[in-house]
Chains A and B, each alone.
Chain A
Amino acid sequence: MREEVFEGKSEEEALLRASEVLGVNISDMQYEVLEQETGLFGLFRKSVKVRVRVPDEVQGIVYRDPAAASNHAAAARRRDPARTVVEDAGGDGEGPEPAGAMEGAAVRKGPEAEAALRGILERMGVDAQVTCDEDGEAIRLNIATEERDVVIGRDGEVLSALQFVLNKIVNRFPEGRKRIVLDAEGFRDRRTEELTRLAERLADKAVRTGQVIRLAAMNAQDRRVVHMALKDRPGLTTRSEGEGLSRCLMIVPAGAARGDRPGTGRRSGGKRGPRPHPGEGRGPTA
């Protein structure tokens, strides 16, 4: 029986380190958490110490798979809720990456993402086929269904919500973060085409009238499409203004007063909802 103490920023990280140093699968170790220091408001990184015991009969075979470590620790936590680690004080799952701990390791989170999406769709009562494609940085999930209105929603708001929730689920632990890209029935491509056409039309108008055109509030993904569509056009610039849900993209023709008087006069609308109705009120539909 070997016994050693390891430290890490999280239980998972400490176990991974143990696995690497001892050359033993995490599932073959016995361990207990000795100490946890949770930083004040998450300002200071916490540290976790675990004592690891390896029974003599265990052969050293290392799988370099942080997902396994993560799942293992999560499972342990579920068995023993009293030992819960406060994972992320902000609760947003967007903590810093652990320094170099997982470098070069292949993390597979696709199956988890796929299962979560299937589980949600099933409970929504949606008949759908889900496919999954994972690479080093992203998990691409695709939904095939006849119930497009339910899954995509107006301007893709349901699809975006599902994508957001799946991101939170899959990236609960900071190790090996992966971006989730969710699509259904070719919606993303269609949306990109529509936004690009709209952007070009409004850019023409902005240049022709010399006035700033402010588009209605859009999410970051959609704004990015418009920025990209117009980035190489001479005679205008694009920029965004406002915070959060009411962040708007503006098309600014060269020589226009920098957005002080939006040409479309849409400022009087007061607080606008989260849905994009770009430009002239003929927003692209799902």
Chain B
Amino acid sequence: MAADIKNIVEFIAQALVDRPEEVSVNEVEGEQTSVLELRVAKDDMGKVIGKQGRTARAIRTVLNAAATKARKRVVLEIVE
């Protein structure tokens, strides 16, 4: 099975927030590294970041595991 890394972020973020319809992920592909820009509703920022950034860190760990399997590098940015 092929990993769909952009879709992982989307899926997790939508499950965490109050306004899933406002979740969007933009993938900026670089030569070796892809940057995933996650946008959520302003009020939902706290839900995807978490206390001391713990939720964001957990999402990054899951993404990196999938990326390693797919022999890619990804960086997750949560943008306002």
Which residue of A84, A153, A169 is within 8 Å of B65 (Cβ)? A153
Report if B2 contacts A (CB, 8 A): yes
> B7, B12, B51, B61: which contacts A158 (Cβ < 8 A)?
B61
Residue B73 lies at the interface, judged by CB distance under 8 Å to chain A: no
Measured CB to CB, the nearest residue on chain B to A112 is: B15
Asked whether B15 lies within 8 Å of A90 as measured between CB atoms, the reply is: no
Residue from the set B21, B57, B65, B66 with the largest chain A CB neighbour count within 10 Å: B65
Residue-by-residue, is B22-54 near A (CB-CB < 8 Å gives 1, otherwise 0)?
A: 100000000000000000010111110111101
Q: Is B46's CB under 8 angstroms from A125's CB?
A: no
Name the segment of A114-122, A131-139, A208-216, A257-265 touching the other chain.
A114-122
Is A164 within 8 A of B43, CB to CB?
no
CB-based contact B61/A153 at 8 Å: yes
Residue contact B65 to A158, C-beta cutoff 8 Å = yes
A168 touches B66 (CB 8 A): no
Closest Cβ of chain B to A109, distance in Å, is: 13
Bound Cα distance from A210 to B65, whole angstroms: 41
Chain A contacts for B61, CB-based, 8 A = 153, 157-158, 160-161
Q: By the criterion CB–CB under 8 Å, are A244 and B69 in contact?
A: no
Q: List A contacts of B78 (CB < 8 A).
A: none
Size of interface on B: residues with Cβ below 8 Å to A: 38
Least CB distance from B54 to A in Å reads 7
B55 touches A84 (CB 8 A): no
Residue A200, interface by CB 8 Å: no
Are B8 and A120 interface neighbours, CB within 8 A?
yes
Contact check, A78 vs B16: say whether CB atoms are below 8 A apart: no
Q: Is A147 an interface residue (CB 8 A)?
A: yes
- Judge whether A81 and B21 touch: CB under 8 Å: yes
Query: Size of chain A's interface in residues, with CB distance under 8 A?
Result: 38
B62, A90: Cβ atoms under 8 Å?
A: no
- Considering only residues 85-134 of chain A, those with a C-beta below 8 Å from chain B are 85-94, 116, 119-120, 122-127
Tell me, in angstroms, the Cα distance from A120 to B67 when the chains sit together. 13
Cβ of A165 within 8 Å of any chain B Cβ, yes or no, is: yes
Contact A91:B19 (CB < 8 A) given known A158-B62, A164-B55: no
Indicate the member of B3, B11, B54, B61 with the most A CB atoms within 10 Å.
B61
Inter-subunit contact A86/B62 (CB<8 Å) = no
Chain B: minimal CB distance from A119 (Å):
5
Residue of B nearest to A147 (CB): B69
Contact for B62 among A85, A88, A89, A161, CB less than 8 A = A161
For residue B18, CB closer than 8 A to chain A, the reply is: yes
Task: Name the contact of A124 in the complex, choosing from B3, B44, B51, B57 (C-beta under 8 A).
Answer: B3
Question: Which A residues are within 8 Å of any B CB, using their own CB?
Answer: 77-78, 81, 84-94, 116, 119-120, 122-127, 147, 150-151, 153, 157-158, 160-162, 164-165, 168-169, 172, 244
Give me the 9 closest cross-chain CB pairs, A-B, nearest first: A91-B46, A125-B3, A161-B61, A161-B58, A124-B66, A125-B1, A164-B58, A92-B51, A123-B8
User: Can you name 16 extra interface pairs (CB under 8 A) apart from A77-B18, A84-B41, A169-B15?
Assistant: A78-B19, A81-B19, A84-B19, A86-B43, A91-B46, A119-B15, A123-B7, A124-B62, A125-B3, A127-B1, A153-B65, A160-B58, A161-B57, A161-B61, A164-B58, A165-B59
Instruction: Name B's A-contacting residues (CB within 8 A).
Output: 1-5, 7-8, 11-12, 15-16, 18-22, 41, 43-47, 49-52, 54-55, 57-59, 61-62, 65-66, 68-70
